[in-house]
Amino acid sequence: MVTTEWGTFPDELSPSEAMMWKGEDQARLRSGGILVLLLDRSPDWPGLTASFERYSSLFPRLRQRIATTPFGLSPPRWVVDPDFDLSFHLRHVALPPPGTFDQLLELIACDVSSGFDRLRPPWVGTVVDGLAGGRAALVLKQHHALFDGPGMVQILGRWLDRERESQVPAPVAAPPPQTLSDADLLRAALNPLRLAAGARRSFRRTGSAATAFLRPRELAARVAAVVGSIDQIAGPSVKNGSPLLAGRSTSARLGTLDVPLADLKAAAKSAGGTLNDVLLAAVADALGRYHQHFGKRVESVNLAFPVSVRTDDDEPGGNRFSGAMICAPADLADPASRIARIHAQVLSARDLGAAELVAAFTAVAYRLPSWLVAAVPLMDKVDAQVSNFPGLPSRHYLAGAEVLRSYGFESHPGTPMMIVLMSHAGTCCVSVNVDAAAVTEMPVLMKDLREAVNDVLALAGGATPARTPLSAEARPS
């Protein structure tokens, strides 16, 4: 354990974090994320480095790398990097003229699917100058093992300033370097015995602990049965995802939309749904429109989404989520009816234990070879992963620069796309990351998504339409 004034942080990765880290071996399974903070000016570089110096000490994960024990006998663990060098993790670049937001997205897309240096803490921050209007951006790339979306917002809320001229407090002492001791290795050797007992309880729906450790091929078949049960919870669905979105590669295309938070909430309330229901409804409609562009009709699409299990007592950062999937209607023209049906589907998926099934799968799958996990046809059934979480509710600053928007681009391991809604000071910042081989017409998809969101917003009456960042009508004041 590492303890700072921000809390106590466990050394071992959780099963879900360990599985995501293991996925680094397979390009299609990588679980990185990129947070883009759009700034009104370039941050003061000395102030920025001083800020990172302090808060990387307070939040120890930023100074730790992930180490594995011999033969993988115990879960990977966080250890302080004795060679931590902040200059490796912070970079400074500039866009060429004219400095459009699309140029920024193209720069980020080249890096969103790349892997991490396994011998260093899994994060990199890049200041990008040269955006139109004197603006800049901080691009933070981090592995999902560090934190989920809500965990990231917790860290941002403690890290960013509330005033433009706020002074960075004095640095604090960094935690001492760590190595795996003889006691750690002994615990690792005994760990399988403890895991065998726990696995039998947590994986009873899919088989015994012996199956998990001794017959991995049979386990793969049982995991496929878990996937089938998730489909049953979701209701009638296709056996696999849409053939139109079946292509897979390591190339990404990115897009964004800005949507007024109050209007989106009003639309959700008018239809008796939640903000998450509205987002899922808009994505389902957009995918239906996208299929129509190619002369194909689709009645439903499979949408996966996280289910947060975070509590107020949890330490900041980390991952506190499971998952579920629904078969969302893509052919319902009336947005209110679509939202109502999706609302019922989401409640059913949660009530009937889809999240528990995913947790049971993760509890054993993280110990398997990454190639075997990649062979499980779980992700082949997903047409889109959709996530939303509340971001910063008010103005914040970074080294003298105001944060105007925050966009979260998450990886889409084995799936066609990941769509994330992150609110920021009254604006919903929608980020889209697609596999370029699955979505061959990115401009068409973004147009369809914008129209679908605007149709939902019409339920609120007089709502401001969704906009593209840095367009003439969308520039923050």
Beta-strand pair 384-389/300-308? parallel
Residue showing tokens 């689709």:
298
CA-wise closest residue to 210 among 223, 219, 202: 219
User: Rounded CA gap, 82 and 85, in Å?
Assistant: 9
Residue 162 three-state SS: coil
**Residue 474 in contact with residue 465, Cβ under 8 Å?**
no
CA-to-CA separations, 87 to 50, 60, 235, 411, in angstroms, rounded: 12, 17, 51, 25
CA-wise closest residue to 294 among 438, 412, 452, 433: 438
Task: Name the catalytic one among 89, 143, 144, 291.
Answer: 144
Residue showing tokens 């890096």:
111
Taking CB atoms within 8 Å and a gap of at least 24, the contacts of 271-275 are 271/335, 271/336, 271/339, 271/340, 271/343, 271/459, 272/339, 272/340, 272/343, 273/339, 273/340, 273/342, 273/343, 274/343, 274/346, 275/388, 275/421
- Tell me if residue 144 is catalytic: yes
CA torsion sign for 51, 54, 56, 58 is negative
Task: Give Rg (Cα) of the chain.
Answer: 22
CA-wise closest residue to 41 among 407, 402, 395, 392: 402
The CB density around residue 225, as the number of other CB atoms within 10 Å, is: 12
Look up residue 459 and give its amino acid. Answer: L
Tell me how many helices (H) and strands (E) the chain has. 14, 16
176 upstream amide cis, omega within 30 of 0: no
User: Rounded CA gap, 293 and 130, in Å?
Assistant: 36
Farthest-apart Cα atoms in the chain, separation: 66
Give the start-end residues of each E strand in 228-285: 252-260
User: Rounded CA gap, 301 and 383, in Å?
Assistant: 6
Tell me the backbone φ, ψ of residue 459, rounded to 5 degrees.
Answer: -65, -25
Tell me the backbone φ, ψ of residue 44, rounded to 5 degrees.
Answer: -65, 120
Token pair of 452, please? 């679908």
Residue showing tokens 């699917």:
113
Residue-level length of the chain: 477
Which residues does the annotation mark as catalytic?
144
